[in-house]
């Protein structure tokens, strides 16, 4: 991890209390909810989403005026630097508006478009997950400890999470997910970004999802890698563009899952 990445990760972490304050001012309270879909399923956005991203973008550009930014709610700002940021102010807005604390603020740092550091903050639970290179940590109420995914997990004893089965849009995707789900010890639905955090914490072993956007997954990739996990597309390709994503606690489990996904 470069010195700039270390400094930037620490700076991003310093922004989380304000992001959390904004989120908690709206969580489990009356909310105005807009539907931003142009087609397809309900795609909610709230005043909290917009306010958090506005605050984060302003703080980042004040500190790093030459950096680029991509955010879910306010689009892209092209910088002149090799460094850029990617923001999902509330990943799991459906959970947020339902009062379920399985959501988080995602901030990712990229170099030449490649995710190199990431943070996830869940203010209601007072939890932060961070990762860059081989260094990952979990912090709650001032206590910090390293992240480590379960390195001995294999398919037969794995715990699999997926936010919702409706994420899979095609017959082949649904069939691939069902093959993996049938092979694991236990499958559960829900979680959004929090499922990936639990994988990095060693409590969940697989997350298989589809229909993700780049801002949904890029901040999470460094967190999972730092914990010893693996993230890819269904054929082992780079997952940073989103779409169908397979996250596993270790390379062996990842290979097992990909083999089932590829089976026809």
Domain 3-146 CATH superfamily:
Fructose-1,6-Bisphosphatase, subunit A, domain 1 (3.30.540.10)
Among candidate residues 212, 192, 204, 224, the one with its CA nearest the CA of residue 160: 204
Query: How do residues 136-164 score in pLDDT, each as one tens digit?
Result: 999 999 899 999 999 999 999 999 999 99
pLDDT of residue 170: 86
* Residues 158 and 205: beta-carbon distance below 8 Å: yes
Secondary element (H or E) of residue 191: none
Q: What is the pLDDT along the chain (264 residues), one digit of tens a residue?
A: 678 788 888 999 999 999 999 999 999 999 999 888 766 778 899 999 999 999 999 999 999 999 999 999 998 999 999 999 999 999 999 999 999 999 999 999 999 999 999 999 999 999 999 999 889 999 999 899 999 999 999 999 999 999 999 999 889 999 999 999 999 999 999 999 999 999 999 999 999 999 999 999 999 999 999 999 999 999 999 999 999 999 999 999 999 999 999 986
Q: Which residues pair with 103 in a beta bridge?
A: none
Largest CA distance in the chain: 51
pLDDT of residue 109: 97
pLDDT of residue 38: 65
Query: How do residues 34-71 score in pLDDT, each as one tens digit?
Result: 888 766 778 899 999 999 999 999 999 999 999 999 99
CATH number, domain 155-262: 3.40.190.80
| Dist. CA 129–CA 145, nearest whole Å | 10
Task: Please compute, for residue 208, the number of CA atoms within 13 A of its CA located in the half-sphere on the CB side.
Answer: 30
| Dist. CA 115–CA 70, nearest whole Å | 12
Secondary element (H or E) of residue 138: strand 135-140
| pTM of the predicted protein model | 0.95
In the chain, where the domains are located: 3-146, 155-262
30-to-51, 98, 105 alpha-carbon distances in Å = 16, 11, 20
132-to-9, 166, 214, 243 alpha-carbon distances in Å = 8, 31, 18, 23
| Dist. CA 85–CA 185, nearest whole Å | 37
Query: How do residues 102-112 score in pLDDT, each as one tens digit?
Result: 999 999 999 99
| Dist. CA 192–CA 252, nearest whole Å | 24
């Amino acid at each position: 991890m470069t010195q700039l990445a270390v400094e930037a990760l620490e700076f991003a972490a310093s922004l989380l209390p304000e992001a959390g304050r904004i989120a908690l001012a709206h969580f489990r309270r009356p909310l105005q909810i807009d539907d931003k879909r142009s087609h397809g399923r309900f795609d909610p956005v709230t005043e909290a989403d917009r306010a958090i991203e506005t605050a984060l973008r302003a703080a980042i550009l004040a500190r790093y005026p030459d950096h680029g930014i991509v955010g879910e709610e306010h689009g892209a700002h092209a910088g002149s630097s090799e460094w850029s940021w990617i923001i999902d102010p509330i990943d799991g807005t459906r959970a947020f508006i339902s009062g379920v604390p399985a959501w988080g603020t995602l901030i990712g740092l990229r170099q030449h478009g490649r995710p190199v550091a990431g943070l996830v903050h869940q203010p209601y639970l007072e939890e932060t997950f961070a990762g860059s290179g081989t260094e990952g940590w979990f912090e709650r109420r001032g206590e910090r400890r390293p992240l480590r995914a379960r390195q001995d997990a294999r398919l037969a004893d794995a715990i699999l999470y997926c936010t919702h089965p409706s994420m899979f849009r095609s017959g082949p995707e649904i069939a691939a997910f069902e093959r993996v789900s049938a092979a694991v010890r236990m499958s559960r639905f829900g979680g959004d970004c929090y499922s990936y955090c639990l994988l990095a914490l060693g409590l969940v072993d697989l997350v298989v999802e589809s229909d993700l956007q780049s801002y949904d997954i890029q901040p999470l990739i460094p967190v999972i890698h730092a914990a010893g996990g693996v993230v890819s597309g269904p054929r082992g390709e780079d997952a940073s563009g989103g779409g169908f994503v397979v996250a596993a606690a270790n390379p062996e489990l990842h290979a097992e899952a990909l083999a089932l996904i590829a089976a026809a």
